[in-house]
Amino acid sequence: MAHLFYMQFYATLKSGNLKHLKSTATALTNQRNYSSKDGQYLHKSIVPTMHYQKSLPRLPIPKLDDTIRRYLAAQRPLLNDDQFSTTEKVARDFENGVGKQLHEELVLQDKQNKHTSYISAPWFDMYLSARESIVLNFNPFMSFNPDPKTEYNDQLVRATNMVASAVRFMKTLRAGHLEPEVFHLNPAKSDTDSFKKIIRWVPSSLSWYGAYLVNAYPLDMSQYFRLFNATRIPKQGKDELFTDAKGRHLLVMRQGHMYVFDVVDRNGNLVKPDEIQAHLKHILSDPTPAPAHPLGLLTSENRDTWAKLREKLLAAGNGEVLGLVDSALFCLCLDDESMKDHIHVSHNMLYGDGANRWYDKSFSIIMTKCGNSAINFEHSWGDGVAVLRFQNEVFRDTTENPLVHPGSQPASVDSASAVRRLQFSLDAELEDGITKAKENFHAAVSKLTIGSMQFMKGGKEQLKKKKLSPDAIAQLAFQMGFLRQYGQTVATYESCSTAAFKHGRTETIRPATVHTKRCAQAFVQQPGKHTIDQLIGMLSECSKYHGQLTKEAAMGQGFDRHLFAMKYLANSKGQALPNLYQDPAYAAINHNILSTSTLTSPAVSLGGFAPVVPDGFGVGYGVHDDWMGCNVSSYPERNVHQFLQCVQKSLDDIFSVLEGKPLG
């Protein structure tokens, strides 16, 4: 049955249907029309939240020969003939030698761990063992669209509504009432109350198969439990993930101060929204000067440095207050600053001032004085699937069912006793550590430049009419842009979710291909050499091949995770690293100069992240119905503004050719 699933799913995943699985992209929340009359819950799903989890198919380990073939295909556009010949020999030797043995061991290990996926433990280990700061290097952000009713974007009103909706989401999830995440290929058949009333009675061990029969594919929800009451704890060598579901309090930060108050009462119910509003108003009007040594800065430090300082904090008697920080439902950062434009928003939501953040929390909602809001999240525990679902649900709930309003009066309660401002005992060594953390933080973030671009001459609709994949064309524009700017084709990474499988994480799509290289050279370096029909043919080839790569990645049939898992296995056994992993070409393809991720959602205005290498670009982008946009970051080694001009020129050229106009 599972084999049939792979064949069927592969066959039905057409480019236009991939936007849910691609890059943790569009959750289906905006298509749901349910709500709960009970104010404690967002809705009450007919099908229990985790109903499909037990019967999800397992993430397949690709065949070794397929992995080597795909790896060499991805290397081909990055290497000259001599380099490729060397890399091909190394790869074939690996395939017929030590790689064969590692692959067989990996398959055996996977068979002995049927409760999870082969990538789950190595992936957690990779994130938690990284010692560099999680700021810029790991934590991304996704900003909320403004509330369509402008008066609801007041900082206090919006913050209160978001806290209330977030708690309602948490309660809905934990009660098993949250609608399961399902990818519907035929929603008229599967996304109906009648089907749900039948499938809910199918045992969990078989329920996935019942959904599959009507072309519906439930997605993994194993990451969701780490959304709330969760924090990454710094430890020497390797961090730990901490979760304590008993915490009923919210962590609020303002001007570097930290406050806690309960948002869930002793009976497990949401505290009255007007009381939450009163407590937040109390915090916003607290006249206490900003602390000279704000503790939040420590979470931006090198992880080993922070681990040592945390031990000192505990030794100085701060265990109880740190426990409150770690076990809080989530963090709300109230910023006193107003945003000037969306570039300012990106800088503020990606890293801010360092003092008014606790980057280790599973996620933080950041709310500026002008009501701009975003989620910044710690990346080790999950890939954004759960965060995006949460963001979509919270946006929908706050905009459609707000619990406080611009004219609402906060409750007459004693906020001074309900709200506790956390006090930390700091000695000279800890104060010095915070001062150094501040210097390191500002030195790092001062190097980051962010730019953005909106291309208004066309988008998804126009491209689909021409039978072209919108994502393929966006990726091609990045390849063309980089070639125009730097004259090179370089390692490129596009994230793709493998949430169709139990404990799936992500797989890599490699958008730099022999097809994009040929097409980019034709457009950029040989503009008069080809006819319009030839250029359109090249665009079509790029689109088809990118579509194939995307389908393969969503099916767990890329090469990156397989090679990574075998390397991890060799390391864990203390073996000498096989030659394939010592080949300079392997290092180069994993030095991702173009790191890209796409996101379109009714809740999200823009998303962003820093480059993953010093000489790279971090490219967040979205292809909308009639326009395309991207939000790009870089360090001083690259010129982000020039890159955006080159991408704009590339899109101009592509759309001109599609309209039958020759390249100018």
Catalytic positions: 379
Cβ pair 335, 257 in contact under 8 A = no
User: Measured in whole angstroms, how far is the alpha carbon of residue 610 from the centre of its chain?
Assistant: 12
Specify the amino acid at residue 234.
P
Specify the amino acid at residue 134.
I
Greatest Cα-to-Cα distance within the chain, rounded to the nearest angstrom: 77
Name the token pair of 265.
């009462």
Q: State the pairing for strand pair 363-367/331-334.
A: parallel
Q: Distance between CA atoms of 462 and 654, rounded to whole angstroms?
A: 12
Specify the amino acid at residue 40.
Q
Q: What are phi and psi for residue 217, nearest 5 degrees?
A: -125, 100
Name the token pair of 479.
């390849």
- CB crowding 609-646: b at 16 or more within 10 Å, else e: bbbbbeebbbbbbbbeeeebbbbbbbbeebbbeebbbb
Whole-angstrom CA distances from 452 to 85, 437, 472 are: 39, 29, 20
Cβ pair 513, 77 in contact under 8 A = yes
Name the token pair of 629.
């946009």
Name the token pair of 448.
């980051």
Phi-psi region of 454 (alpha: psi -120 to 50; beta: other; left: phi over 0): beta
> Which residues lie below 8 Å from residue 287, measured CB to CB, with a gap of 6+?
none
User: Measured in whole angstroms, how far is the alpha carbon of residue 445 from the centre of its chain?
Assistant: 20
Closest to 104 measured CA to CA, from 91, 95, 116: 95
Angle separating helix axes 303-315 and 319-327, nearest 10 degrees: 130
Q: Distance between CA atoms of 300 and 350, rounded to whole angstroms?
A: 12
Name the token pair of 200.
């809910």
Q: Distance between CA atoms of 371 and 257, rounded to whole angstroms?
A: 20
Q: Distance between CA atoms of 205 and 74, rounded to whole angstroms?
A: 38
Q: Distance between CA atoms of 140 and 236, rounded to whole angstroms?
A: 24
H helix or E strand, kind and range, residue 217: strand 216-218
> Which residues lie below 8 Å from residue 501, measured CB to CB, with a gap of 6+?
56, 57, 58, 59, 60, 117, 220, 556
Whole-angstrom CA distances from 295 to 90, 320, 613 are: 49, 15, 28
Q: Distance between CA atoms of 406 and 232, rounded to whole angstroms?
A: 36
Whole-angstrom CA distances from 108 to 61, 114, 126 are: 11, 11, 22
Q: What angle do CA 640, 641, 644 make, to 5 degrees?
A: 85
As to burial, measured by CB atoms within 10 angstroms (0-12 exposed, 13-18 middle, 19+ buried), residue 532 is middle
Q: How many residues does the chain have?
A: 664
Cβ pair 615, 450 in contact under 8 A = no
3-state secondary structure of 216: strand
**How many C-beta atoms surround the C-beta of residue 237 within 10 A?**
10
